[in-house]
Chain A
Amino acid sequence: MNHLLLDVNIVVDLCVARAGSPNSLAAVALAREQGFQLWVYAGSVQTLEYVVASELRYARQKVGDALSGNAVRQLARQVLGEITINCQWLAALAKEGAVFADEDPEDAQLIRSLERFTAGTARLLTRDGRMLERCGDAAITPEAFIEQSLQNPSKPKFEFIDLKTQQNAIRPQLEQNIHRVLHHGTYIMGKEVELLEAKLAAYTGAKHCITVASGTEALLISLMALGIGAGDEVITTPFTFVATAEVIVLLGAKPVFVDIEPDTCNIDARLIEVKITERTKAIMPVSLYGQPADMDEINAIAAKYNLPVIEDAAQSFGATYKGKKSCNLSTIGCTSFFPSKPLGCYGDGGAIFTDDDDIYQACREIRIHGQSRRYYHTRVGVGGRMDTLQCAIVLAKLERFDWEVEQRLALGQRYNELMDEAGVQRVQQRDDRTSVFAQYTVLVEKRSELEARFREAGIPTAVHYPVPLNEQPAYQHLCCADCTPIAQDKAQRVMSLPMGADLSLTQQSIVCQALSKLF
């Protein structure tokens, strides 16, 4: 992503018609079309207000309209509000305060503010000779920008998952939440942790929520809370991210792999019962790609054998199954806030959900080294807390989450229609549940050729997952690859396409056109 920071003179050009305006307008319009992110420095607000007012006063005087100071400032504010609507406010940071030793503090602020962008990705758009001199390559005039952009148009980059648009949408809340944590300083188990847990529990309908350090940690702590250990067996799917089986093995237990359904790629509930032995201690279905498995059937088998069910809902937060929310469909639900997940943070994070008070208590203790009170360790635990900053980030994202889920459902539905029209095979969704499409996955032949063609077209793709866990070197001794033939087949053919709440309809059409051309 390329960034353009608009200098005061450019914003004034946009607000008031004057000599520099035509080129500034064209440069800004062109920048938007080419996917540049436009920024206005929040520290310049007052300067903007008065300079725009001053220029407006002059412009209106020219047409015989003498405005009072207050009237013209009010007008300036209104125009600034309209002009900056498609820009992001670039926060003024502490480093931009101590600029008094500079020959021009106002200039120094903007120059320093550019330093926070990755080198070479941001420039100041300005008509000011002095700034052009001081910034060198990091500043450009509207005229030079227009010429460069016409000669060498830069295309908006196609992201596999677009997190930037989301960040733009929530920036004010996000920054406020982060700064609040910096100020209160309770970096571990701060009030945001408890607040997030309450909100997530309410969202899913589960009685309890325990935030933890990651989705992997959520699974590990859940298994520990259930007392699963050496010699035990846990039934799960081989067609998942490695963490699902990894935590079972870490505890000395054995993952027992059950094959998947050919259409949903989720664990095939009909194949579970025959795998149950005396050593079976839990069933762990994965809500793959964002869609819950056949939870009623799985819960019924579990009830028959008095087994707990842990839903690995790392990919499905926000999905529903027969009207109930994923994470609240069985004994325990575990999710991940890995950045690219439907609800992500800006690092690692995860959460455990349960209605069971004892499991809740156990998970809480295990999360903090098995302590039931300070320095009193009732059981063996882990350092598995989610930190306050990450909780503050999820809290900011949660405000937009309902809209995002709706977007995901609509985009998934549209992808389905377009794929069906083009005759492309895809992962199916059942009518009694929703998928939040953590991945939108199709089934193709000659996958590596297709991947290469997509790469050439600048469209990112991914494979979830190329090798079932029972074919992975670390796990293959646990189960023969041929024991799960459907997983084996799907692993050769699945390919995930760009997806996310902020995928545009145009981008989606580009993907579908590219795909149908290749078929």
Chain B
Amino acid sequence: MQVEVIYHHGTLTFNRPLRFRQAHFTMQVDIPEQVVETEEVSFPAFDLSLFSAEVRAEIARLEAIQRLAISQPVPKVEEETEEQRLRWAAFELRNETRREQGRDL
């Protein structure tokens, strides 16, 4: 079925009361294109050759950590508890507020 929902700071609220037989399920959500942040901010790029060998080595070291964070396999962990989900929601609220203010995270 199709229903209308309001998105607010990371939470979806249904416009009419509904009860579910399951606590957990997947659904499709239709999001208006215009609210999705697409444009990547661009910054002036510095030519790496401006820096000394030590600075370049340090940049490379930091980049390697970043690359590993994206590629390394993550071990299985326990499901989140309700408390942990609430904490996520709290920080999502912070992030949302900052985005609304046009600030970076």
- Where the two chains meet, the residues of A that have a C-beta atom closer than 8 Å to any C-beta of B are 8-9, 12, 14-17, 19-23, 25-26, 28-30, 32-33, 46-47, 50-51, 54-56, 59-60, 63, 67-72, 74-75, 78-79, 82-83, 106, 127-130, 143, 146, 150
Contacts and interface: CB of A to CB of B under 8 A. Distances in A.
Contacts of A54: 91-92, 95, 105
A46 B62 CA distance: 21
B81 to A, nearest CB: 9
B41 A19 contact: yes
A47 B91 contact: yes
A142 to B, nearest CB: 8
Contacts of A106: 94
Contacts of A143: 43-44
Given A14-B65, A106-B94, 7 more contacts: A17-B63, A25-B59, A32-B58, A33-B52, A60-B70, A68-B77, A143-B44
Contacts of A33: 52, 54-55, 58
A26 B77 contact: no
A72 B88 CA distance: 11
A71 B67 contact: no
Interface of B: 40-46, 48, 50-52, 54-56, 58-59, 62-63, 65-67, 69-70, 72, 74-80, 84-85, 87-88, 91-92, 94-95, 101-105
Contact of A82 (B63, B65, B67, B76): B65
Contacts of B56: 29
17 contacts: A9-B103, A9-B105, A14-B66, A17-B63, A17-B66, A17-B67, A19-B41, A26-B59, A32-B58, A47-B91, A50-B88, A51-B91, A56-B69, A71-B77, A74-B77, A83-B65, A128-B103
B95 A71 contact: no
B103 A30 contact: no
A16 B69 contact: yes
A20 B104 contact: yes
Nearest to B42: A19
A63 B71 CA distance: 9
Contacts of B66: 14-17, 21, 79
B32 to A, nearest CB: 19
A106 B78 CA distance: 30
Contacts of B48: 26
A98 B55 CA distance: 39
Contacts of A75: 69, 72, 74
Contact of B105 (A32, A51, A74, A78): A51
A12 to B, nearest CB: 6
A70 B85 CA distance: 9
Nearest to B61: A29
B60 to A, nearest CB: 9
Nearest to A78: B69
A334 B82 CA distance: 62
Most interface-central of A15, A16, A26 (chain B CB within 10 A): A26
B46 to A, nearest CB: 6
Given A22-B45, A47-B91, A29 B77 contact: no
B62 A14 contact: yes
Contacts of A150: 50
A79 B46 contact: no
Contact of A22 (B43, B74, B87, B95): B43
Given A19-B40, A22-B45, A56-B69, A71 B104 contact: no
Contacts of B40: 19
A15 B87 CA distance: 21
B73 to A, nearest CB: 9
A423 to B, nearest CB: 32
Contacts of B72: 75
Contact of A68 (B43, B55, B80, B94): B80
Nearest to A10: B104
B51 A26 contact: yes
A59 B92 contact: no
B105 A8 contact: yes
